[in-house]
Structure 1
Amino acid sequence: MSVLNVINPLFQAYIVYSAILTLKLIAVSSMTGYTRLTRRVFSNPEDVKNFRGVVKLDDPVVERTRRAHMNDLENIPPFWILGALYITTGPGLAWTTLLFRSFTVCRIIHTIVYILPVPQPSRAIAYGIPYIINWYMGIQVVSFYISAM
């Protein structure tokens, strides 16, 4: 059986958590736009004209939401790559599902505590766990394939 096959439970877990993360990424992008609209703070003059706002590149509320989105863009794509590679090493289903689920839940929590904002160390913990998971999967992939060479 091919590892990257929709019948493979590992690949199914990867698909589910990747889809959730993708929807989350889209939602945070939409939140940034919504925040701009409700605060009438825009980054482009043509938007000001159409939506009767001001050009302002340093609105603290918009910037906080935008930074949460940028943080996702820096951390979720490596998960997509490393997660797909990781399942090719044949890890256990329960462990892999726990890694994928933990990554996803922590990234959702990270966005919530970033945007609200909730005092530290909440954001650092919600950031650190997925960060460690990405490193773990990457090291496992490299180790597996080096030993197979």
Structure 2
Amino acid sequence: MSAFTLENPVFRDFAYHGTIVLLKMGAMSFLTAIKRFSTGAFVNREDFIGKKPKEIVPSESVERVRRNHLNDLENIPLFLLVGLFYVATNPEPSQALLHFRIFTFSRIMHTLSYQIPIRQPARALTFVAGVGATVSMAVHVLRTLH
């Protein structure tokens, strides 16, 4: 059986959690747009629809969403690539599911702690949990291949 079929429970769980974090990452673009329209903080003069363009001033709430989105762009693709290698090593299904759940939960909690905002170390802890899950999978891949 190929590791990359829906008959493989590890791949099925990976595809499920990978889709969740990709949708979450994509939603950040829409959240950025919502924040821009609600604050009037546009970055291009032509974006001031129906208004006379004013000085372009950054908005803390827009920048907070953008930084959160950038963090997703730095972490989610890495998880997805390492996760594919990890699935190929035929890991124990319950252990794999734990890695996928930790990463998914950590990214959702990271976003909530960033956007609410929740005082540190909340965001840092959620970040470390997600990175830890990815690193743990990477170590498993390297050990399996060596």
TM score, norm. by length of structure 1: 0.92
Q: How many residues align?
A: 145
Give 1:17 deviation, angstroms: 0.3
Aligned pairs for 1:76-95 within 5 A: 76-95=76-95
Matched with 1:130 is 130
Distance 2:68 2:50 in 1: 24
Conserved? CA contact 2:41–2:58, under 8 Å: no
Matched with 1:25 is 25
Mind listing any 5+ residue stretches in structure 1 that lack a counterpart? none
* Secondary structure at 2:105 match in 1: helix
Label 1:37 to 1:103 Cα distance change in 2 as closer, same or farther (>3 A).
Answer: same
* Secondary structure at 1:42 match in 2: coil
Label 1:114 to 1:64 Cα distance change in 2 as closer, same or farther (>3 A).
Answer: same
Aligned pairs for 1:113-128 within 5 A: 113-128=113-128
Conserved? CA contact 2:45–2:56, under 8 Å: no
Runs of 4+ that moved beyond 6 A: none
TM score, norm. by length of structure 2: 0.94
Higher relative contact order, structure no. (Cα contacts within 8 Å, ≥ 6 residues apart): 2
Distance 1:22 1:78 in 2: 12
Conserved? CA contact 1:37–1:51, under 8 Å: no
Instruction: Give CA deviations for 1:13-48 in whole Å, capped at 9, x if unaligned.
Output: 011001101110111111011100111110111102
Distance 1:19 1:51 in 2: 37
Give 1:56 deviation, angstroms: 3.0
Conserved? CA contact 1:43–1:55, under 8 Å: no
Mind listing any 5+ residue stretches in structure 2 that lack a counterpart? none
Label 1:38 to 1:54 Cα distance change in 2 as closer, same or farther (>3 A).
Answer: farther
Distance 1:11 1:128 in 2: 24
Matched with 2:59 is 59
Matched with 2:96 is 96
Distance 2:59 2:91 in 1: 45
Instruction: Give CA deviations for 1:80-138 in whole Å, capped at 9, x if unaligned.
Output: 10111101111111111011011001100000110111100100111000111111111
Conserved? CA contact 1:28–1:65, under 8 Å: yes
Q: Which amino acid aligns with 1:105?
A: F
Root-mean-square deviation (Å): 1.3
Distance 1:3 1:132 in 2: 24
Label 1:127 to 1:43 Cα distance change in 2 as closer, same or farther (>3 A).
Answer: same
Report % sequence identity: 35
